Amino acid sequence: MMKEKDNAKAFDGADDLEAAAANVAPGSPGSMERADDPAPAKNIVFVRRERVYRDGQEEQVPAEAPRTIRDGDRLFELPDSKTQQDGFYHPEAARLIRAFPGSYKAFTEKGA
């Protein structure tokens, strides 16, 4: 039969293991994060179009997406224009969509 004092010692060792695991850099050997984890799913897409006139006809073509955009006190760093038009993941996608509804929409898979 284990005494209460011995039982506390067994749990103290587990705390040490958790603390050591928390200090390991992500992606390095021994980290909890796996290198082959999939990238986050796309959640936002750039949709703004601009009007151009060719041969007397109006056409709408995709606009060039900005690399940085400011909303109040936040400056957002964004990927290149092609990536934005294909859809990308951004942790604050909801804020971008609310602030720039004519430029950004929630990403949805076609045919889904």
Angle at 42 between CA 71 and CA 24, to 5 degrees: 90
C-alpha distances (whole Å) from 100 to each of 29, 46, 57 are: 41, 10, 28
Is the separation of the CB atoms in 24 and 15 below 8 Å? no
Q: List, in sequence order, every residue forming a beta bridge with 44; answer none if it has no partner.
A: 88, 106
Confidence at residue 1, expressed as pLDDT on a 0 to 100 scale: 53
Confidence at residue 35, expressed as pLDDT on a 0 to 100 scale: 55
CA distance 62 to 53: 14
Confidence at residue 39, expressed as pLDDT on a 0 to 100 scale: 74
Residues 6+ apart with CB under 8 A from 26: 33
Full-model pTM: 0.60
Confidence at residue 82, expressed as pLDDT on a 0 to 100 scale: 95
The whole-number mean pLDDT for each consecutive block of 10 residues of the chain, a chain of 112 residues, reads 51 45 45 60 94 92 94 93 95 94 91 70
CA distance 46 to 100: 10
CA distance 17 to 12: 9
Confidence at residue 111, expressed as pLDDT on a 0 to 100 scale: 79
